Structure formats: structure tokens, C-alpha cells
């Protein structure tokens, strides 16, 4: 019996573009920094950042904690999605142009 559901043909699919890093992640200093004077602790960045770069900085006696960056190297190199969702303007990232040489795009 032949299988009608094999998944080996790519003739109608356009190749998927993927990215890979050209250096170990810990050697690429791409991650956000925070201006805690303007962070209001809304936590939108925690919800929005799927890799989990941010966490609430919970301290005893603080009613509305701010955030901290606990996993900087989980930040996806050249991602900038959290910057516009922070309406306080507390999140800063480096200039992407300075990091483009760390990322190579390839087709699957
Ligand atoms: S989105 Fe901005 S203001 Fe809200 S917790 Fe994150 S850094 Fe702070
Ligand atoms: S740039 Fe992307 S991966 Fe990095 S902290 Fe912001 S949302 Fe997360």
C-alpha cells in the first residue's frame, strides 16, 4: 500500500527563510537595557517577549515592582519587538546595523 500523505515534496512551497548565528550567542552583546526611572512595571514586555528575557523584580515592600533582565542571552539577535510595546520608552536596544554581521539568512 502506498502512502498518500508523504511530506517530501517541496515543489509548490517556496523555501522557508531561516536565520543562524555566526558566533556563540554569549559572544554577541545584543540584549535590551532598561531605564528604570521610566519603567512603570506594567509587565507588557514580560508578556510579549516569548523567549523570557524579562522578569518582575519583586522586592519586599514594593507595591508595583519594575522589571529586570534576567536572561539577556535568550534575546533573539536583531529582534526589536519589545521596544515599541513599551509605551514608557524604557527599553533600549543596540543599533541593529552593528549586529547584522552576526546573523546569516539561509533557505531551508
Ligand atoms: S513594558 Fe516598559 S514600562 Fe512596562 S514593565 Fe516593561 S519596561 Fe517597564
Ligand atoms: S528584542 Fe525580542 S527577544 Fe529580545 S527582549 Fe525584546 S522581545 Fe524579547
75 Cα to the center of ligand 2, angstroms: 5
Q: Residue 38 above 50 pLDDT?
A: yes
Identify the pLDDT of residue 3: 40
Of 45, 69, 75, 80, best ligand 2 pocket probe by most atoms within 8 Å of the beta carbon: 75
41's enclosing H/E stretch is none
Q: Which atom of ligand 1 is closest in space to residue 46's alpha carbon?
A: 6
Give the helix ranges, DSSP H, for 1-104.
Answer: 44-48, 82-85
In tens, the pLDDT along 51-103 reads: 999 999 988 888 889 999 999 999 999 999 999 999 999 999 999 999 999 99
In tens, the pLDDT along 6-21 reads: 444 445 678 889 999 9
Q: Whose CA is nearest to atom 6 of ligand 2?
A: 82
Our CA dihedral for 49, 51, 33, 23, rounded to 10 degrees, sits at -140
- pLDDT band for position 50 (50/70/90)? very high
d(CA 93, CA 45): 13
Q: Whose CA is nearest to atom 3 of ligand 2?
A: 75
Q: Which atom of ligand 2 is closest in space to residue 83's alpha carbon?
A: 6
Identify the pLDDT of residue 91: 98
Q: Is the CB of 91 under 6 A from ligand 1?
A: yes
**What whole-number percentage of the chain has pLDDT above 90?**
76
Identify the pLDDT of residue 9: 47
Q: Which domains, and CATH codes, for the chain? A: 17-107 (3.30.70.20)
| Rounded mean pLDDT, 37-41 | 95
Amino acid at each position: 500500500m502506498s502512502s498518500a500523505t508523504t511530506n517530501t515534496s517541496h515543489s509548490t512551497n517556496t523555501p522557508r527563510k531561516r536565520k543562524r548565528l555566526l558566533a556563540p550567542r554569549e559572544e554577541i552583546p545584543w540584549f535590551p537595557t532598561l531605564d528604570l526611572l521610566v519603567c512603570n512595571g506594567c509587565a507588557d514586555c514580560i508578556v510579549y517577549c516569548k523567549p523570557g528575557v524579562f522578569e518582575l523584580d519583586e522586592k519586599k515592600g514594593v507595591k508595583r515592582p519594575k522589571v529586570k533582565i534576567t536572561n539577556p542571552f535568550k534575546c533573539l539577535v536583531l529582534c526589536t519587538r519589545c521596544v515599541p510595546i513599551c509605551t514608557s520608552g524604557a527599553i533600549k536596544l543596540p543599533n541593529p546595523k552593528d549586529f547584522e554581521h552576526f546573523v546569516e539568512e539561509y533557505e531551508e
